[in-house]
Amino acid sequence: MKVTIIRPPLVGSKGDLFGSIPSIPVNVSYIAGALIDGGHDVDVIDCYGLQPLWRRIYNDKFVLRGISPDDVLARFNGETKLVGFSVNEAVSHRISLDIIQVLRSRYPHLKFVIGGHHATAVADELVHKQGVDFVVLSEGELTILELANALEQGKPLDSIDGLVWKDGRNEKHRYAENVDTLNVYHTDVLPLENYWSLHYAHGPSSGRYMNIVTSRGCPYNCRFCPSPMMSQRKWRPRSPESVVEEIEYYIARYGIRDFHLNDENSTAGTERTRRICELILEKELDITFCMPSGIKVETVDEPLLDLLKKAGCRFFTLSAESGSHRLLKLMDKPVDLEHLMKITRHACRIGIRTSCFFMIGYPGETDEDWAMTKKYVARLTRAGIDEIVCPLMIPVPGAEANEHFEQGSYADYGELTFTPKWRSDYNRLEFKRRLLYLTFYLRKAFWHPWRTFLIIPHVLFWKHTTKGEMTINRVLDDFRRVKRMPRWNSPLPKDGSALSCDSAPH
């Protein structure tokens, strides 16, 4: 069967510096690889990766980066029978429906399947209200292969776990229990050179790099995160040997020496982390790597940090979220704030760059909680944290904390960015955020003047060591390299009703 996998273009609010992450979507290559290995003919349309420097206004209040739905139609192979979408973020919801609408207008026989974090959370809405044929719950490699086989052979869908369609729902999520068996070597389907030419990614990047996922899922239950819904709190690691084999493959195939470990929790298995480092050193691979999605600070200590540094680690992200133990309990976020301080201090001492997340505006946050967070950030700055990242709380579909937000408080999933202007308290929260950033950098300049000064040459010569340095260059790119394209407006009403099961063409 001919299958086309589409990664939607990136969507963000106008003026939002905290938009979607322009990083190599290896999850798309995993899905494509599963279908290729299963005997299917696969095309990949990476809407962002094909033209990452195209920028256009979308539906008046958003910015779309990449090719438009009309461009997708122009590139589309009419022999395709099944079209798959990877939709992990809420902001990709509407643009994915727009692409479906444009493709169906030309090819009414097409079947559409959507997977990813966001799609899993709103599966019933997509299928029963917006005319999507199928939604894959949780991980997609096994389920989409079974779906493609069933459609090709005319078999019923009832036996496929983790699938939602108009006439049925198999709730049992499908996971690969042994993730070493998944084929991760199909990245050639992606426009890699376009990503490398950007010189920015999820983690600090200055050129050729590759994203690697060394484990699946997360064992924790943070109430602001959709991961518990997606992975059912199951953490499934790849073996150290499998991870290092993948690194060696990319060294040989692309000459890459920089790797981004994009697990939800890269260090959840301490001994596994140690063994990966030991193998890198034993094989004398001479690489660098970072962990931009975050590590669980309690899983590392000073000797392990020393080993990580020796193996090539240059950056990782920590997640404190708040300096208030009361608020952390509300979040169901287990974190040892004093150990985090200790790890930050040692990372600074040995030359690993660090970033730390703090969430602003979590439901139930009081002035006292905020005062404790500011005090903790001040201490962390002196300890040597290189940057802080402070998103405003949004109700991510699939997260438990959504119950605290009024239904209809935002008009469109595209508004679920980390600059949520629809929040009634947005101006107050945005003032707190900017003040926290300002005081952080003033304190950093006082306590660590040399590290602060180095931001200037790092930006000027595109030698990024932190996410913040990359963000500066992304903003500068909007003036220097980005090509302004004609605006594109959705043909769909806000509720997506033109794609309802009754009205959509089949």
The CATH number assigned to the domain holding 381 equals 3.80.30.20
* Element holding 215 (H helix, E strand): strand 215-216
Distance CA 90, CA 397 (A): 7
pLDDT value at 181 more than 80? yes
Domain boundary among 145, 177, 209: 177
Residue 504 lies in a domain: no
Q: For residues 374 and 426, is the Cβ–Cβ distance under 8 A?
A: no
Q: List CB contacts of 400: < 8 A, sequence separation 6 or more.
A: 223, 224, 228, 332
The residue written with tokens 């680690």 in the block is 313
Same domain, 203 and 320: yes
Using DSSP, state whether 440 is helix, strand or coil. helix
Q: For residues 411 and 372, is the Cβ–Cβ distance under 8 A?
A: no
Distance CA 183, CA 326 (A): 43
Q: Where are the alpha helices (DSSP H) in 91-138?
A: 93-106, 117-121, 123-128
Q: Burial of 252 by CB count in 10 Å (0-12 exposed, 13-18 middle, 19+ buried)? A: exposed
Same domain, 262 and 126: no
Asked whether the CA dihedral 390, 306, 448, 262 is positive or negative, the reply is negative
Confidence of residue 501 (pLDDT cuts 50, 70, 90): very low
Number of structural domains (the chain) is 2
> In the prediction, which pLDDT does 497 show?
64
Same domain, 110 and 204: no
Same domain, 290 and 390: yes
Same domain, 158 and 213: no
49, HSE (Cβ side, Cα atoms, 13 Å): 22
For 370-410, the pLDDT digits (tens) are 999 999 999 999 999 999 999 999 999 999 998 877 666 88
> In the prediction, which pLDDT does 407 show?
60
For 10-65, the pLDDT digits (tens) are 999 887 766 677 899 999 999 999 999 999 999 999 999 999 999 999 999 899 99
Same domain, 64 and 155: yes
Domain boundary among 177, 211, 237: 177
Same domain, 150 and 251: no
> In the prediction, which pLDDT does 506 show?
28
Residue 428 lies in a domain: yes
Q: List CB contacts of 76: < 8 A, sequence separation 6 or more.
A: 4, 45, 103, 106, 107
Same domain, 205 and 96: no
Q: For residues 184 and 246, is the Cβ–Cβ distance under 8 A?
A: yes
pLDDT value at 182 more than 60? yes
Stretch 443-465: mean pLDDT: 95
> In the prediction, which pLDDT does 404 show?
78
Same domain, 265 and 171: no
Question: Both tokens of residue 94?
Answer: 């509407």
Same domain, 206 and 157: no
Q: What's the domain range around 277?
A: 199-403+415-451
Q: Partners of 313 in the beta sheet?
A: 289
Residue 186 lies in a domain: no
Using DSSP, state whether 354 is helix, strand or coil. strand
β-pairing, 54-58 vs 483-484, is: parallel
Residue 468 lies in a domain: no
Domain boundary among 143, 177, 211: 177
Same domain, 374 and 299: yes
CATH number of the domain residue 169 falls in: 3.40.50.280
> In the prediction, which pLDDT does 177 show?
83
Q: Partners of 354 in the beta sheet?
A: 316
Q: List CB contacts of 417: < 8 A, sequence separation 6 or more.
A: 12, 13, 16, 18, 19, 91, 394
Residue 481 lies in a domain: no
Distance CA 175, CA 318 (A): 27
Q: Where are the alpha helices (DSSP H) in 351-408?
A: 367-383
Residue 273 lies in a domain: yes
pLDDT value at 500 more than 50? no
CA 244 to chain centroid: 23
pLDDT value at 297 more than 60? yes
Residue 130 lies in a domain: yes
Same domain, 212 and 163: no
Q: List CB contacts of 245: < 8 A, sequence separation 6 or more.
A: none
Confidence of residue 414 (pLDDT cuts 50, 70, 90): confident
Residue 234 lies in a domain: yes
User: What SS3 string covers 26-84?
Assistant: HHHHHHHHHHHHCCCEEEEEEHHHHCCCEEEEECCCEEEECCCHHHHHHHCCCCCCEEE
Distance CA 399, CA 85 (A): 21
Q: What is the pTM of this model?
A: 0.95
For 421-439, the pLDDT digits (tens) are 999 999 999 999 999 999 9
CA torsion, ordered 142, 148, 152, 154, to nearest 10 deg? 70
* Element holding 365 (H helix, E strand): none
85, HSE (Cβ side, Cα atoms, 13 Å): 31
